[in-house]
């Protein structure tokens, strides 16, 4: 146990321990629900484009409400907001279960339910990310908490789709939705009875919500290193997440499989993501984040190229593993930087912008990539995404020294 606390100091904080336990269980159900939703949509429509629309409406509201959520959450109790969003997510899963078992489920209903989940997620994701640093008390624990939070997300991403593939094969999508609705109960209980957050420190008088949003954007723009890192992250998250829309086409048309193959592919992504979380938690040094980000985005780009050419399941699983590793390690490193270099009074706004980039832009790209894949095929679409990412990495490399210097100055000031 002492070794575990040494590797992951955040676990020594009871509030975070209870939170991460409940969240891991709920995220397991969420990933089962997401794969079941993707498979159900693809089974009903046989179209990557229509699947892309569902992916789009489930996360695109982050682009509309993300910054508003950050400003709103800084004015309200984070714990109560978390309880409310978890209850609403559970109701969403209950509705999916009812429609599926009753046989009334169809594509328009799935689009509407996905849109509702997207609006709830705009507030839920920002609240969860912003609250992590309020459960621990020192910088080392913050880095550990951010990494563990992402690892919980990605353990679920590893286990959930793998279980869902088998559950769908034997019992159908409805059982996945039922399990998802049950898995919200632990996190709601933990938030009600076990988790408490420290008080946030506000260093200035609040403006209007719009004024707070503008001030948050100006803060990101004024930090040279954060500005350029967010630019790279915007391109990276738009194009690297193409795999979530293209995997169903690869699993059937290229790898000659079905729902089980799709589950293995998403499971491989989850395994790589888990390893990425461990690496960040144990080895990441804040002043080296720009160099680390260059390595992980490059790994993801190469893995997408390999996956696009592969027709062998084993090679595709290896490539999927490195896709998951690169995406997760990149995102966690930037998240850790945001959590550490932002003050209490603007953290939610910075985190909301981070979530907009990491979770809101992917579905926008997915909508376009799904349509493109219907015309030119999944392999060519994925190869195109990798090429755009490579260009963004080269542009980031041009400013690398200035980015590194800017970050070093900020960290020195915080010290």
The pLDDT of residue 2 is 62
Q: pTM of the predicted model, to two decimals?
A: 0.76
CATH number assigned to the domain covering 7-195+208-414: 1.20.1250.20
Q: Is the pLDDT of residue 139 over 70?
A: no
The pLDDT score that the predictor gives to residue 209 is: 67
Residue corresponding to tokens 């939610």: 348
Between CA 157 and CA 275 the distance in angstroms is: 12
CA dist list (Å): 334 to 270, 295, 302:
19, 13, 20
Mean per-residue pLDDT for 36-49? 84
Q: Which of 373, 266, 283 is nearest to 336 (CA)?
A: 283
pLDDT tens string 248-258? 888 888 888 87
d(CA 379, CA 393): 21
294-324 pLDDT, tens per residue? 999 999 999 999 999 988 989 999 999 999 9
Query: For residues 121 and 47, what is the distance between their CA atoms, to the nearest angstrom?
Result: 25
Confidence check: pLDDT of 207 > 70: no
C-alpha 193: how far from its chain's center? 27
* Rounded-to-integer distance, Cα 259 and Cα 173, Å: 11
The rounded distance, in Å, linking the Cα atoms of 144 and 272 is 18
- What single DSSP character describes residue 134? T
Q: Do 110 and 184 contact (CB within 8 A), yes or no?
A: no
DSSP state of 9: G
- Predicted confidence band at 71 (pLDDT cuts at 50, 70, 90)? confident
Asked whether residue 1 carries a pLDDT value surpassing 60, the answer given is no
> Which range is most confident: 122-131, 169-178, 196-205, 361-370?
169-178
Residue position matching structure tokens 């293209």? 246
Name the residue with higher pLDDT: 361 or 28: 28
Sequence-separated (6 or more) residues with CB below 8 Å from residue 214: none
In whole angstroms, give the CA distance from residue 77 to residue 200. 10
How confident is the model over 355-372, as pLDDT tens digits?
A: 888 877 776 777 788 888
Neighbours of 303 (CB within 10 A): 25
For residue 66, pLDDT beyond 90: no
Rounded Cα gap, residues 325 and 303, in angstroms: 10
Name the band, by pLDDT with cuts 50, 70 and 90, for residue 344. low
Residue 75: how many other CB atoms lie within 10 Å:
11
Mean model confidence pLDDT for the chain? 84
Model pLDDT for residues 180-206, shown as the tens digit of each residue: 999 999 999 999 988 888 766 555 555
Q: Longest C-alpha distance within the chain, in Å?
A: 60
């Amino acid at each position: 146990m002492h070794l575990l606390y040494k590797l992951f100091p955040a676990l020594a904080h009871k509030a975070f321990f209870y939170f991460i336990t409940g969240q891991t269980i709920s995220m397991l159900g969420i990933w089962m629900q997401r794969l079941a939703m993707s498979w159900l949509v693809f089974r009903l429509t046989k179209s990557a484009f229509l699947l892309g629309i569902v992916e789009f409406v489930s996360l695109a509201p982050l682009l509309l409400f993300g910054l508003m959520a950050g400003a709103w959450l800084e004015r309200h109790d984070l714990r109560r907001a978390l309880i409310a969003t978890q209850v609403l997510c559970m109701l969403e899963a209950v509705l999916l279960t009812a429609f599926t078992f009753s046989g009334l489920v169809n594509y328009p209903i799935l689009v509407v339910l996905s849109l509702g989940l997207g609006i709830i997620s705009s507030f839920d994701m920002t609240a969860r990310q912003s609250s992590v640093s309020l459960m621990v008390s020192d910088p080392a624990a913050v880095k550990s908490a951010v990494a563990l939070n992402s690892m919980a997300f990605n353990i679920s991403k590893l286990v959930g789709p793998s279980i869902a593939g088998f559950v769908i094969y034997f019992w159908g999508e409805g059982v996945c939705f039922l399990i998802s609705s049950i898995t919200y109960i632990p996190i709601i209980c933990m938030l009600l009875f076990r988790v408490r957050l420290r008080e946030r420190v506000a260093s200035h008088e609040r403006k209007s919500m719009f004024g707070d949003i503008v001030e948050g954007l100006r803060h990101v723009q004024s930090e040279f290193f954060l500005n350029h890192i967010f630019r790279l992250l915007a391109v990276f998250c738009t194009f690297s997440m193409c795999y979530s829309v293209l995997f169903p086409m690869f699993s059937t048309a290229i790898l000659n499989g079905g729902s089980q193959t799709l589950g293995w592919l998403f499971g491989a992504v989850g395994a790589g993501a888990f390893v990425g979380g461990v690496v960040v938690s144990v080895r990441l040094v804040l002043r080296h984040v720009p160099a680390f980000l260059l390595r992980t985005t490059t790994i993801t780009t190469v893995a997408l190229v390999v996956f696009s050419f592969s027709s062998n399941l084993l090679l595709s699983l290896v490539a999927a593993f490195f896709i998951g590793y690169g995406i997760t390690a990149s995102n966690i490193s930037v998240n850790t930087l945001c959590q550490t270099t932002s003050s209490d009074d603007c953290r939610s706004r910075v985190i909301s912008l981070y979530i907009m980039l990491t979770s809101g832009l992917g579905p926008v790209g997915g909508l376009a990539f799904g349509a493109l894949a219907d015309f030119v095929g999944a392999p060519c679409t994925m190869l195109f995404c990798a090429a755009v990412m490579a260009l963004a990495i080269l542009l980031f490399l041009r400013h690398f020294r200035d980015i590194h210097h800017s970050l070093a100055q900020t960290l020195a000031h915080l010290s």
